[in-house]
Structure formats: structure tokens, C-alpha cells
Amino acid sequence: MYAGAMKKVHETFPHSADAAALYADALMVQHPWDLYDRLYKPKPWTPEIVRVLEQLVRQFPLHPGASHYYIHAIEGSEHPEKGLAVAKRLGNMMPGLAHLVHMPSHIYIRSGYYAEGIESNENAVKGYYQYLSQYPPVDDFTEVVVGFTIADAEITNYSTLFNLHKGAEKHVLQIPEDTSLLPIRGGQSQHREWSRKESHLDAWVISRNGDLFL
């Protein structure tokens, strides 16, 4: 229903960047993380999403939402390198917003630019800590910050694996230690247990000589 309504809004206001971005987002959330199969082939609903976003990033290259969604829309495809120009722009577009600073790494890593992926996430994590220095956690601190911070850490970890980036492992493992203490929705964060089951941050760390250790 919402996606259909946003399609009408987009068709009524075809030159509105926000309308187009919200329409694409509405399509994407109907199929979360399900745009491509294991052979990187698009699902039936994916081409329309990509079409809308490709047109949007061409017309409005500095729209952060369009760039964000476009990266998600093509990162799982056969040719994620198509998003390199968008990723480069987005990394500098909103330097104070850690999640958007992190987003280019989705393209960099899948395109073989591991050093750039590391740099994106290092900058994102720095921004995250700058935010916490100004706005310490409070009782109503939600899981949003935890979610994107752990995503940042996990992507950095993959970059570390591929690039054998010395020194990154200590920084990566510190993040779940910090976020596990954050109060979330009235209770203690369950992230620490979640990270053990899903992210395996402790296991995916590279030592100084390139060997894996726990």
C-alpha cells in the first residue's frame, strides 16, 4: 500500500528527488536484503528499484538518500563497481554522519578496493566516537547507533581480512565492547551475545603475521 502510494507521488512529482528516493526505499523494504540471488542475478523486483535510483543519482548526484539507497541496490549485483563514483561522493557528502561515511565500503570491498574500505570505516568509527563524546548514552538510547556501529565494525573486519591491515584488529574488537554496555529500550544490550552468533567479530581478526586468532 505504501509503495503504491509513493509510486503515485513519484509520478506526480517526477522532478522531486525526495519523492523518488522514498519510492525506491518503499520498494526496497518490501524485499529487505533480497535483491539478488546467490549467483548475483537480480530478483524480479530489483530492476525497477535500480532504474529509479540510477536516474535519481544522475539527476541529483548530491542527494544523500539516493546515494545511500543506490549503494544498497547494487552492492549484491554482478557489477558493484558501477557504484564507485557514487560511493566516492557519498563518503565526503555528510562527514558528521557515521553511517553514511561507512556506506561506501559496501562498494569498495566488493569491487576490490580494500584499502578504501578500511579508510571509509575508520572515518566512520571516528565520527561515531565524536558523536558519543558530545552526546553520551542515556536511558532512551536506541539500538540504531548499535546497529550501524556493528555494521561498520564488521565491514572493517572483512577489509582487514582481505588486506591484512595491521593494527585494525584492536580497534575493531573495541567497538562491541563499548556498545554492549549501552542501555537499549529499557534494558541491557543483548548485542554481545548477538555478535557471537552472527558477526563472529572475535574470530575474524588478523594477527601481525597474518594468522587468524581468537
Tell which CATH classification among 3.90.1150.10, 1.10.3720.10, 1.25.40.10, 3.40.50.360 matches the domain 2-133.
1.25.40.10
**Is residue 141 a contact partner of residue 183, using CB atoms and an 8 Å limit?**
yes
173-184 mean pLDDT: 48
Q: What is the model's pLDDT at position 192?
A: 40
pLDDT at 209 over 70: no
Q: What is the per-residue pLDDT across 39-97, written as a single tens digit (0 to 9) for each?
A: 999 999 999 999 999 999 999 999 999 999 999 999 999 999 999 999 999 999 998 88
Q: What is the pLDDT of residue 142?
A: 45
User: Can you tell me the mean pLDDT for 139-146?
Assistant: 48
- Amino acid 137: pLDDT: 65
Between residues 186 and 136, which one has the greater pLDDT?
136
**What local confidence, expressed as pLDDT, does residue 78 receive?**
95
Q: Give Cα separations from 178 to 136, 142, 152 (angstroms).
A: 12, 14, 14
For the chain, the domains span 2-133, 140-193
Average pLDDT over residues 125-149: 65
Q: Which phi and psi (to 5°) does residue 79 adopt?
A: -130, 70
pLDDT at 213: 36
Kindly compute the dihedral angle of the four CA atoms of residues 131, 133, 139, 145, in this order, to the nearest 10 degrees.
30
Cell of 209: 603475521
